[in-house]
Amino acid sequence: MKLGLGLYRALLTPENFRFAKQAGATHIVAHLPGHFTRGDAKIITSDNAQAGFGISEADDPIWTYEGLRDLKERVNAEGLVLEALENFAPAHWYDVLLDGPQRAEQMAHLKQIIRDMGRAGIHTMGYCFTLAGVWGRTEGPYSRGGAHSVGFENPPQTPIPAGMVWNMVYDPDRFNPDDPQGTVGVVTAEQIWQRYAAFLDEMVPVAEEAGVKLALHPDDPPLPTLRDTARLVYHPDHFQRVIDLNPSPSNTLEFCIGTISEMPGGDVYAAIDRYSQAERLAYVHLRNVQGKAPNYHEMFVDDGDTDMLRALRILHKNGFDGVIIPDHTPLLECAAPWHAGMAYALGWMKAALTVIESE
Residue 14 and residue 297: Cα distance in Å, rounded?
A: 32
> Binding to Mn ion by residue 231, rule CB under 5 A?
no
Pick from 124, 142, 327, 353: which binds Mn ion (CB under 5 A)? 327
Give the contacts of 305 (CB within 8 A, at least 6 positions apart).
Answer: 261, 268, 288, 289, 290, 291
Q: How far is the CB of 188 from Mn ion (least distance, A)?
A: 25
Compute and round to an integer the Cα radius of gyration of the chain.
19
Sign of CA dihedral 273, 217, 236, 194: negative
Build a one-symbol-per-residue string for 134-153: x at contacts with Mn ion by CB under 5 A, - elsewhere.
--------------------
Output 163 or 326, the one with its CB closest to Mn ion. 326
Q: Compute the distance between CA of residue 286 and CA of residue 55 in angstroms, rounded to an integer.
A: 27
Residue 31 lies near Mn ion (rule: CB under 5 A): no
Pick the stretch among 60-68, 104-112, 123-131, 284-292 that binds Mn ion (CB under 5 A).
Answer: 284-292
**Region binding Mn ion by CB under 5 A among candidate stretches 84-92, 129-137, 249-257, 344-352:** 249-257
Helical ranges in the chain per DSSP H:
14-22, 65-77, 90-98, 103-120, 189-210, 237-245, 257-261, 268-277, 308-317, 337-358
Binding range to Mn ion, per CB under 5 A, among 84-92, 206-214, 250-258, 299-307: 250-258
With beta carbons less than 8 A apart as the criterion, state whether 117 and 212 touch.
yes
Nearer to Mn ion, 165 or 256 (CB): 256
Q: Which stretch binds Mn ion (CB under 5 A): 201-209, 255-263, 314-322, 330-338?
A: 255-263
Binding to Mn ion by residue 256, rule CB under 5 A? Answer: yes
Residue 130 phi, psi dihedral angles, 5° rounding = -145, 145
- What is the binding site for Mn ion (CB under 5 A)? 256, 285, 327
